[in-house]
Amino acid sequence: MNRSALVAAIRERKSFLCLGLDPEMSKIPAHLLESEDPVFEFNKAIIDATRDLCVAYKPNLAFFEALGVPGWQAFAKTIAYIGDQHLVIADAKRGDIGNTSRLYAQAFFQTYNCDALTIAPYMGGDSVQPFLEFPGKWVILLALTSNPGSVDFQFGTQEDGQPLYIKVMKKATTWGTPENLMFVTGATHPAHFKSIREVAPDHFLLVPGVGAQGGDLKAICEHGLNADIGLLVNSSRGIIFAGQGEAFAEKAREAAAVLQKEMAEILLAAL
Amino acid sequence: MNRSALVAAIRERKSFLCLGLDPEMSKIPAHLLESEDPVFEFNKAIIDATRDLCVAYKPNLAFFEALGVPGWQAFAKTIAYIGDQHLVIADAKRGDIGNTSRLYAQAFFQTYNCDALTIAPYMGGDSVQPFLEFPGKWVILLALTSNPGSVDFQFGTQEDGQPLYIKVMKKATTWGTPENLMFVTGATHPAHFKSIREVAPDHFLLVPGVGAQGGDLKAICEHGLNADIGLLVNSSRGIIFAGQGEAFAEKAREAAAVLQKEMAEILLAAL
């Protein structure tokens, strides 16, 4: 899904919601555990219940990898089931030396046909470049993450007096374009969205941390919105585990609808 | 494999060689491609040919992931085949928010029973901590990597006038101990091993970049060796693709033996 299709989907669905699929086995409703592939059945029900409310799905690879080979089968089936009307983001935080990143890119962009992949920046340009060479695919580079540990290195002051995450963004904007590069900027740091937009006025931002991690949607939007909306706001646990038992998908829909409604109001006010 | 077993293996085999398994499908000898699992057959032959010459094997996850589900099956079989006489390092460069890192740790330390996992530091303390909570397992944290892009961020000057990779090492030594934490420090930066040893005198260092990437073994050892040796020097492509055709494993053994012999001499001189 390219940028114009993504922007069109946002305007049509009045939503810039990215729904994170973190199918933790211990939280999957009991009645699904008897099925042949509980993780896929869980994802399928969540996807069926939320398609019209979001523009992206973000499966988190850790929750599939932890299950071994059956987890990867569930991942592949989930990607195929999502289809081409949503941006499919593999949240895998990969990144390695050039010849290795090339293989990771092949894995996620060809073998599994995802649209986008989250990438860690620590290893620098040649670790990111191979992912940018796949036409029509997206790199989503970690800049300012939503977790407590983000303060350990990302805010460290660099030579030019600016924090590391700004240096990462500045350099990365010379590697990719707003058509193939987004940044991860956590909702738990709303005060930094102004600086973020100064460095990357046009790029899409993937914003995790709303919900379980405490981020506030309106606060992010204040400086985060751009002419093409430019935001994908993610919620994972707050939606997919909103309810338990047989009604879990219905409860997930309700939780997603709350966010989508808030987004529709923000979009209306921004027009 | 804990630290004392690792040090004993180094002394016994007169080798601190880590053999990197990067089984790139396009380079696997033609006669193996007819077998049911060419990647595993390739790894098996390499392992059989080199067991006595190395103390660690480091499968690089990208080369397995790129093959989809069969790749993960080959990975699991490879780990099991290596057994418990070598340190098994999953070179996966994982790292995510706490609740997600916990699942990655489960994947590699429990599901696949690896001894060690390479981790990217960008997301900070809570992204690394869950891996350190598995008794008997190792975190191998990226500090100074061997690739050209290492200059982009890792050498950036921080508040205290020192480069980012030193800040990463300093902070990480407060998270883990020399019994459960190693650092990746590339062989392509021999001039920095003195500073590295000032920050982490006791920790083991995993040193990639000898061979295909141009690093020099003697130069690293000059400052890198410590009382327990403290080095695992990795070679991947330079060994596993040393030869083609039916004699590939024999050629790999010859290439590994050249490094092992050099290591034996270095160990003898250091005693």
Q: How many angstroms away from the CA of B173 is the closest CA of chain A?
A: 13
Q: Would the pLDDT of A11 be above 90?
A: yes
Place of tokens 């327990």: B228
Per-position DSSP letters for B28-90, written without gaps between them: S-GGGTTSS-HHHHHHHHHHHHHGGG-SEEEEBHHHHHTT-HHHHHHHHHHHHHH-SSSEEEE
Angle at A62 between CA A57 and CA A67, to 5 degrees: 110
Stretch A115-144: mean pLDDT, rounded?
98
Q: Would the pLDDT of A215 be above 90?
A: no
Confidence (pLDDT) at B54: 98
Q: Would the pLDDT of B211 be above 80?
A: no
| CA atoms A207, A16, A18, A121: torsion sign | negative
Confidence (pLDDT) at A213: 77
Q: Would the pLDDT of B215 be above 90?
A: no
From chain B, pick out residues whose CB is under 8 angstroms from the CB of A125: 148-149, 152
Q: Would the pLDDT of A142 be above 80?
A: yes
Helices A38-50 and A69-82: angle between axes, nearest 10 degrees: 20
Closest chain A residue to the Cα of B123, Cα to Cα: A150
Q: Which residues contact B64 (CB under 8 A, 6 or more apart)?
A: B23, B39, B71, B72, B74, B75
Nearest to B145 among A123, A159, A171 (CB): A123
Confidence (pLDDT) at A211: 76
Query: Which of A48, A12, A6 lies closest to A21 in space, CA to CA?
Result: A48
Residue B233 main-chain phi, psi, to 5 deg: -100, 125
From chain A, pick out residues whose CB is under 8 angstroms from the CB of B72: 68-69, 72
ipTM of the modeled complex = 0.96
Q: Would the pLDDT of B44 be above 90?
A: yes
Place of tokens 């690093």: B215
Contact criterion met (CB < 8 Å) for A69 and B76: yes
Neighbour-count burial of B26, counting CB atoms closer than 10 A to its CB (0-12 exposed, 13-18 middle, 19+ buried): exposed
Residue B42 contacts residue B28 (beta carbons within 8 Å): yes
From chain B, pick out residues whose CB is under 8 angstroms from the CB of A99: 22
In chain A, which among 179-208 make CB contacts under 8 A with chain B? none
Q: Name the H helices within A95-186.
A: 98-105, 125-132, 150-153, 164-172
Share of chain B above pLDDT 70, in %: 100
Confidence (pLDDT) at B227: 95
How far, in Å, CA of B141 to CA of B128, rounded? 8
Residue A139 contacts residue A128 (beta carbons within 8 Å): yes
- Partner B contacted by A104 (CB < 8 A): yes
Find the catalytic residue in A14, A27, A77, A93.
A93
Query: Which of A74, A203, A216, A103 lies closest to A143 in space, CA to CA?
Result: A203
How far, in Å, CA of A106 to CA of A124, rounded? 19
- Partner B contacted by A95 (CB < 8 A): yes
pLDDT band at residue B201 using 50, 70 and 90 as cut-offs: very high
Confidence (pLDDT) at B37: 97
Tens-place pLDDT, residues B158-180 = 999 999 999 999 999 999 999 99
How far, in Å, CA of B220 to CA of B31, rounded? 38
Q: Would the pLDDT of B48 be above 80?
A: yes
From chain B, pick out residues whose CB is under 8 angstroms from the CB of A94: 62, 93
Tens-place pLDDT, residues B52-89 = 999 999 999 999 999 999 999 999 999 999 999 999 99
Tens-place pLDDT, residues B248-270 = 999 999 999 999 999 999 999 98
Stretch B122-140: mean pLDDT, rounded?
98
- Partner B contacted by A150 (CB < 8 A): yes
Contact criterion met (CB < 8 Å) for A150 and B123: yes
Per-position DSSP letters for B94-135, written without gaps between them: E--SHHHHHHHHIIIIIIS--SEEEE--TT-HHHHHHHHTST
Confidence (pLDDT) at B121: 98
Tens-place pLDDT, residues A234-251 = 999 999 999 999 999 999
Q: Would the pLDDT of B38 be above 90?
A: yes
Query: Which of B200, B198, B185 lies closest to B146 in space, CA to CA?
Result: B185
Share of chain B above pLDDT 90, in %: 96
Q: Would the pLDDT of A90 be above 80?
A: yes
Q: How many angstroms away from the CA of A98 is the closest CA of chain B?
A: 8
Q: Would the pLDDT of B212 be above 90?
A: no
Q: Would the pLDDT of B213 be above 90?
A: no
Report the C-alpha dihedral over residues A23, A94, A117, B110, rounded to 10 degrees.
-20
From chain B, pick out residues whose CB is under 8 angstroms from the CB of A174: none
Helix (H) or strand (E) holding A56: strand A56-59
Confidence (pLDDT) at A271: 74
Angle at B158 between CA B156 and CA B159, to 5 degrees: 160
Tens-place pLDDT, residues A69-88 = 999 999 999 999 999 999 99
- The residue type of A57 is Y
Q: Would the pLDDT of B96 be above 80?
A: yes
Query: Which of B246, B243, B254, B188 lies closest to B216 in space, CA to CA?
Result: B188
Nearest to B96 among A93, A152, A164 (CB): A93
Tally of CB atoms within 10 A around A178: 16
Distances (CA, A) of B78 to A32, A94, B43, B62, B243: 32, 22, 7, 14, 21
Class of domain A3-270: alpha beta
Residue B39 contacts residue B71 (beta carbons within 8 Å): yes
Report the C-alpha dihedral over residues A91, B57, B187, B172, rounded to 10 degrees.
60
Q: Which tokens hold the place of A209?
A: 């941390």
Q: How many angstroms away from the CA of A70 is the closest CA of chain B?
A: 8
- Partner B contacted by A154 (CB < 8 A): yes
Q: Which residues contact A111 (CB under 8 A, 6 or more apart)?
A: B65, B66, B67, B68
Confidence (pLDDT) at A212: 72
Confidence (pLDDT) at A37: 97
Confidence (pLDDT) at A270: 87
Q: Which tokens hold the place of B13?
A: 């085999």
Stretch A196-218: mean pLDDT, rounded?
92
